[in-house]
Amino acid sequence: MKIVDKEILSHRDIIYKNNVARANRNSRKRYIKNNSEKGNFRNICSWRKDGSCKNDTRYKLEEDGKYKYFCKECLADEELAI
């Protein structure tokens, strides 16, 4: 097992780490789109934890007995760096 100090990550390692994070977010977004109820809802988008997104919510997903609402703009796929 190789231990790498975070300060000496190469540029290539940083791009790879960022691509993995984007791919994981895209996977979560696809799950939400495929498993949620679609419609127009009057709730704040749950994608941003600070509640700063004020777009119209289009998706309603039930998780852990609670409903979460998401807007179309926040669930757009992110492009991966080459």
State phi, psi for 12 to the nearest 5 degrees.
-65, -40
CA distance 57 to 77: 16
Q: What is the pLDDT along the chain (82 residues), one digit of tens a residue?
A: 556 566 666 778 888 889 999 999 999 999 999 999 999 998 889 888 887 888 989 999 998 899 999 999 999 988 876 6
Question: Quick check: helix, strand or coil at residue 74?
Answer: coil
Predicted TM-score (pTM) of the model is: 0.76
Q: What is the DSSP letter of 73?
A: T
Q: Where are the domains of the chain?
A: 9-71
Structure tokens at 5: 């100090």
Write down the pLDDT at residue 34.
Answer: 94
